[in-house]
Amino acid sequence: MRLTAKELQQLRGIGDVLAVRLLESGHDSFAKIVALGEKGLKEIKGINPKAVPEILEQAERLSSRDEGDRDRKVETLKESLQGLRQFVQEITATAMERFSEKLSGKTGRKLTESLVRFIEAVEEVEGRAGKKLKRTGKVVVKAEQSMEGLVGAGLKDLRKGLKKARKALQRVHA
């Protein structure tokens, strides 16, 4: 995760100028600063050698926190996607019960096609759940909102709702 100069200044002992120097030398994350080590940090112009151990300690703590937060967010996102998939399966079962006589022809094929496309979009987002995490989370929420009103919807509205939710999921990769 690339940090800005302002975010690097969270470390006590790193000011405006030093943050910019760290970024310019390619050390744009807390993990990279930890990997740089004491010797590498002391080579950065303008750093206080006495502050180096404390800077490394803080960077290590912040680095592990970022990784843990990210892993937890990815798991939450995957759970949301699984819930979305189950919700679609429930809607499908309900639609089959309610519209069994109408699903035999062209309308049934179109609905099936919409469901398959939606499930494919969910699978694609699941495959890339670790990337663009914030954007993916927003898109999944939007897809869930699009799906909420589909429980009692007619066939045409059901297809439209599925299409809208699918398009929302596809925006992750745009």
* pLDDT tens string 22-66: 888 888 888 888 888 888 888 888 888 898 999 888 888 887 766
Instruction: Give the range of the structural domain holding residue 143, as residue numbers without chain letter.
Output: 69-173
Q: Are residues 80 and 52 in the same domain?
A: no
Is residue 68 scored above 70 in pLDDT? no
Q: Are residues 149 and 106 in the same domain?
A: yes
Is residue 73 scored above 80 in pLDDT? no
pTM of the model: 0.57
* pLDDT tens string 79-132: 888 888 888 888 888 888 887 777 777 877 888 888 889 888 888 888 776 677
Q: Are residues 114 and 130 in the same domain?
A: yes
Structure-block tokens of residue 41: 């940090």
User: Which domain-ending residue is among 14, 38, 65?
Assistant: 65
Q: What is the pLDDT of residue 145?
A: 80
Q: What is the pLDDT of residue 157?
A: 85
Q: Are residues 49 and 78 in the same domain?
A: no
Q: Is the dihedral of CA 34, 39, 40, 42 positive or negative?
A: positive
Quote the percentage of the chain above a pLDDT of 90: 1
Count of domains for the chain: 2
d(CA 169, CA 54): 43
Q: Are residues 14 and 86 in the same domain?
A: no
| DSSP-derived secondary structure for 65-85 | HHHHHHHHHHHHHHHHHHHHH
Contacts of 122 by beta carbon, 8 Å cutoff, 6+ apart: 81, 84, 85, 88, 169
| DSSP-derived secondary structure for 111-158 | HHHHHHHHHHHHHHHHHTTTSSHHHHHHHHHHHHHHHHTTTT--HHHH
d(CA 29, CA 107): 53
Q: Are residues 78 and 58 in the same domain?
A: no
User: Which domain-ending residue is among 48, 65, 82?
Assistant: 65
Q: Are 28 and 2 in contact (CB under 8 A)?
A: yes
Q: What is the pLDDT of residue 174?
A: 58
Q: Are residues 124 and 52 in the same domain?
A: no
Residue type, 135: R
